[in-house]
Structure 1
Amino acid sequence: MSEQMLARQTEIERVLRLAPVVAVVVVQNVEDAVPLARALVAGGIPAVEITLRTPVALDAIRAIASEVEGVEVGAGTVLNARDFHAAAKAGARFAVSPGHSPALLDAADDSDLPYLPGASTASEAMSLAERGYRWQKFFPAVPAGGIEFVKALAAPLPAIGFCTTGGITAQAAAQWLALPNVIAVGGSWLTPANLVADGNWPAIAALAREAAVLARR
């Protein structure tokens, strides 16, 4: 493993260990980005993944990166090299993708931006490990096999750790975090659309506080 890859993997591990849950956020209105991120940080969830699913996502990342103290803002749903470079330029501290491709992996190799690539099979996880990715996103966690599947990967692939995302609820998060190969979970339940639309930042901070104290192995 190159020194650059080792540094990026060390950094993504640091981000994933900040709290048991990484907030997975879809921002529809850029003016919501800063207060929303501040509410999450106030509740103890500093790692915030803004998914590139809306036209304002990059602007939201830019605003959060420049205006919110104590946040580690990342870009999610990174699908290609163009997305990867745009996320880095916007000020993202890490990038996350639902899967991976040769072009996306090449883009990550040419950047200092820490990257969490996605896998959903043992073969995909092994291929990423060969490229130096100790830390991976398992997605979509529930549809792709659920807790028993990820648990079964721990014995043959003990060197790989996952941030599991996709279909995980507040009620089930603790079960996922109890797995030996799960470092964190991605959670969209922290930012319900109705609370964001209402600007109910105290309620979002309360959900973050509940998530921040979840135990993990």
Structure 2
Amino acid sequence: MSFTLAKTERLAAILAQAPVIPVLTFDDAASGVATAKALRDGGLPVLEVTLRTPKSLEALQAIVSEVEGVTIGAGTVLETEHVQAAIQAGAEFLVSPGVSSRLIAAGSEAPVPFLPGVATASEAMQLAERGANFAKFFPAGPAGGPAYLKALLAPLPNLHFVPTGGVDLANAPSYLALKNVVSVGGSWVAPADLIARGDWAGITALAREASKLKAR
């Protein structure tokens, strides 16, 4: 299956909303709602809720129902079953750390945009052959960082990336300066210790700082 123009355009619009997409993991719905509000108030309206905990889908659904002004995606989509479960919970886009033939088929057929993950030129080429214009670059730091993405620009000029994994406030500008990077993903804007303490003002402050970063 290939990636359709309509969903590609929708994904482009989502990724253009902010330079940083918070990558979030929740153990309960209440902390998910409070964190989402704090990030939104700090200027980061696009959120990725990872499917890594038993309460992740519950948290995602609660955010969709209770928090206005945000766009919620489901991250760590690893199985075809995750695709349907995330959509039923209200996810507006899907993100995977890597790709498989089954997952590409399920993701490209889903009614919401799909951001598949790559770590190598070969994986990126496979997505480009299927018509993908966007990919998650993961794990960005260990996989080669900004220099690696810069090297991919010439052979794959139509593929744009969202680097995630080892991205923080210090190195995010190096990624965002690249022509083939549209935004970055990171957990530094909502660290686990601030969520555990309920320091929503602290998270808003981190989000506000990150929202001032500029993509090329």
Q: TM above 0.5, one fold? A: yes
Q: Which amino acid aligns with 1:182?
A: V
Q: Secondary structure at the match of 1:183?
A: coil
The match for 1:214 is 213
Partners of 1:28 and 1:158 lie apart in 2 by 39
| DSSP-derived class of the 1:133 partner | coil
Q: Deviations over 1:92-132 (max 9, x none)?
A: 00000000111111112322111000011111111011112
Paired residue for 1:39? Answer: 38
- Post-superposition CA distance 1:140-186 (Å, at most 9, x none): 00001111111111111111100000001111111110011100000
Which amino acid is the alignment partner of residue 161 of structure 2?
F
Amino acid corresponding to residue 86 of structure 2 in structure 1: A
The aligned counterpart of 1:144 is 143
What is residue 87 of structure 1 aligned with on the other side? 86
Q: What amino acid does structure 2 have at the position aligned with 1:144?
A: A
**Identical positions, percent:** 52
Partner of residue 13, structure 1: 12
After TM superposition, what 4+ stretches of structure 1 lie above 2 angstroms from structure 2?
none
Q: CA RMSD in A?
A: 1.2
Shift of residue 80 of structure 1? 1.1
CA distance in 1, matches of 2:109, 2:178: 33
Q: Is 2:23–2:47's contact at 8 Å kept on the other side of the alignment?
A: yes
The TM-score, its normalising length taken from structure 2, stands at 0.97
Write the letter of the residue equivalent to 2:155: P
Residue in 2 aligned with 1:124? 123
Match of 1:48 in 2: 47
Contact 2:47 2:71 (8 Å CA) reproduced: yes
CA contact (8 A) 2:94 2:107 kept: no
Provide structure 2 residue ranges, at least 5 long, that are not aligned to the other structure.
none
Normalising by structure 1, report the TM-score: 0.97
Residue-by-residue CA offset, 1:176-205 (whole Å, 9 max, x unaligned) = 100111000001101111100011101101
Give unmatched runs, 5+ long, in structure 1.
none
Contact map agreement 2:80 2:102 (CA 8 A) in 1: yes
SS in 2 for 1:88: helix
- Secondary structure of the 2:105 match is helix
SS in 1 for 2:196: helix
Instruction: Measure the CA separation in 2 of the matches of 1:28 and 1:174.
Output: 31
Structure 2 residue aligned with 1:112: 111
d(CA) in 2 for partners of 1:121, 1:54: 28
Aligned to 1:158: 157
Q: Which amino acid aligns with 2:173?
A: A
SS in 2 for 1:162: strand
- Alignment partner, residue 74 of structure 1: 73
> CA–CA distance in 2 between the matches of 1:108 and 1:173?
27
Amino acid at match of 1:119: V
**Counterpart residue number, 2:181:** 182
Q: Matches of 1:131 and 1:93 in 2, distance apart?
A: 21
Deviation at 1:5, TM superposition (A): 1.1
The 3-state SS of whatever aligns with 2:94 is strand
Distance 1:119 1:110 in 2: 19
Aligned-residue offset at 1:136: 0.6
Instruction: Please report how far the alpha carbon of residue 215 of structure 1 lies from its aligned counterpart in structure 2 after TM superposition.
Output: 1.5
Residue 41 of structure 1 aligns to a residue in which SS? Answer: helix
Of 47-56 and 104-113, more deviation after overlay is shown by 104-113
1:170 aligns with 2:150: no
